[in-house]
Amino acid sequence: MTSILLGCIAGFIGWFLMRYLAAGLYTVNQNERAVKTSFGRAERVGTATTRDDPIAASLNAEEKERYDYPQVRVIPPGGPYFKWPWEKVYKVTVATQTMNMAHDPEDPQANYGGTILEAVTKDQLNTGLKGQIRWRVSERNLYAYLFGVKRPIVHVMGYFISVLRERIANFEAPPALKTADEPPSHPGAPTPVIGISINDLRKNLRDINDHMDRECVGSAARYGIALDASLITGIDPPGEVESALAAINTAYNQVSSDISLAQAAADQKIVQSKRAVEIETLKAQAEVQPLVALAEQLGDLKKSGGGALDAYIRNVRLKLFSEAKSVILEVNHE
């Protein structure tokens, strides 16, 4: 009887050690972080909160008050670590993940199966957006991701989509800056299509992506998820609008090409006229220069005395007579 009791006690001790001690060992992978709770309460770092953390710098005073989460002790990669039976370990991956921007975590069939996100433009056109977002769990705000928000990715996607749709609905292309050497536009030159914001959206995809990055920088403080980047790759209007846009853009490009050719031909003629004027001016200067020099010489001879000027004229006449084959002289009969 005693041996049976000892065997039961030894078995209970062995079961307890295997169940609560050996099973209490755990490790954390390289791309993971862990948070441990004791009786449901996460281990915290003193009284520190996210309000004073740099990730909350983009939030206003009201948002800092609303999203004030305690800082918890983060267990880094490694191990083995130990936990007691009344403790629980929550592991999360901090690796960067990619998701289609049209994906709805609550309804995978929404947005055409998570492929196209619809948005209305400034001119009331229903357009489809394609792209991706890169996100990761914020190590500095694991409390919000694990305990503060029930489904953080749902909140982040909803916030991202609302900001994107608001940007699409109110987007206006920045005015084009002309360089100092750029010629002024011709009065009859065509202007880009006015009132069709899809053209502006397609030309300014980079500005839209940068705007989304700036607007979503506070998601780590709100929901514990940091949006690394957003990449909108396509804006597709309805088919009938697409064909009309193609026709308008083609006509605009053709007119612009014709006007550019006409302006180039006119500029070439102006340049040729300027060169012709310069050539004729140089010719006239070349013909006038010897006469000016001769006048200066005659003036110098006259200053030296009347006989010098008469001798110069006589020498010139003799030279002309020597080169002439025949000479006709006027005879005075008086």
What pLDDT digit, counting tens, does each position of 69-85 carry? 999 999 999 878 888 88
What pLDDT digit, counting tens, does each position of 283-333 carry? 888 887 877 777 777 777 677 766 766 777 777 777 777 777 776 767 666
Confidence of residue 17 (pLDDT cuts 50, 70, 90): low
Which ranges constitute the DSSP H helices of the chain? 2-16, 61-66, 110-114, 142-143, 152-170, 197-203, 205-215, 219-223, 239-304, 306-323
What pLDDT digit, counting tens, does each position of 183-201 carry? 555 444 444 444 446 777 8
Task: State if pTM tops 0.95.
Answer: no
pLDDT on residue 192: 46
Average pLDDT, the chain: 79
**H/E element holding 128?**
strand 126-137
Confidence of residue 33 (pLDDT cuts 50, 70, 90): very high
**What does the CA dihedral 216, 220, 221, 223 come to, rounded to 10 degrees?**
100
Query: Average pLDDT in the 118-134 region?
Result: 85
pLDDT on residue 35: 93
Number of Cβ within 10 Å of residue 322's Cβ equals 7
Three-state DSSP state, 314: helix
What pLDDT digit, counting tens, does each position of 231-288 carry? 888 887 765 556 656 666 676 677 777 788 888 888 888 888 888 888 888 888 888 7
Whether residue 220 is predicted with pLDDT greater than 70 in this model: the reply is yes
pLDDT on residue 245: 60
